[in-house]
């Protein structure tokens, strides 16, 4: 009887640890990954490398999902909206890349590019090399 209760408890504990692990210490790594992925994605779109663009866009969508969870925990609804918009645009870009729709890829990339500045203006302070979350 007790063993049927242990597994759900352990799973809940593991999930809770994953949520706690998303801390400010993780954030700079996510930002670096977003920047690198966005750079690759831009090159892929420009070079009409659709398969690679789809892969990068899916990865970027997963990063935006992490950011959405992070900002949700900080109760920053504007940042959550920005992250969700980035995830949506990334998924749309991946679908457009798979369909060969270059116009949609470009418009989705523009939306993605707009998310960075909007969030940085609202939630970042400091200077290069010493940025901090507001």
> In which band, very low, low, confident or very high, does the pLDDT at 36 lie, cut at 50, 70 and 90?
very high
> Could you tell me which residue, 20 or 101, shows the higher pLDDT?
101
- Enumerate domains of the chain plus CATH numbers: 23-133 (1.20.120.10)
* pLDDT tens digit sequence for 11-30: 555 555 555 445 789 999 99
* pLDDT tens digit sequence for 54-97: 999 999 999 999 999 999 999 999 999 999 999 999 999 999 99
Contact 87, 65 (CB under 8 A): yes
Question: 93: number of CA atoms within 13 Å, CB side?
Answer: 34
Q: Which residue has the tokens 């609202």?
A: 122
């Amino acid at each position: 009887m007790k063993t049927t209760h242990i597994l759900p408890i352990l799973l809940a504990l593991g999930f809770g640890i994953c949520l706690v692990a998303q801390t400010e210490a993780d954030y700079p790594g996510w930002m670096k990954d977003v920047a690198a992925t966005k750079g690759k994605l831009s090159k892929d779109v420009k070079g009409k490398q659709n398969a690679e663009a789809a892969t990068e866009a899916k990865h970027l969508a997963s990063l935006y999902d992490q950011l959405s969870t992070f900002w949700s925990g900080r109760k920053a609804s504007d940042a959550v909206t920005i992250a969700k918009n980035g995830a949506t645009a990334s998924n749309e870009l991946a679908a457009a890349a798979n369909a060969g729709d270059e116009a949609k890829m470009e418009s989705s990339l523009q939306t993605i590019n707009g998310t960075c500045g909007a969030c940085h203006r609202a939630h970042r302070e400091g200077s290069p090399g010493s940025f901090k979350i507001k």
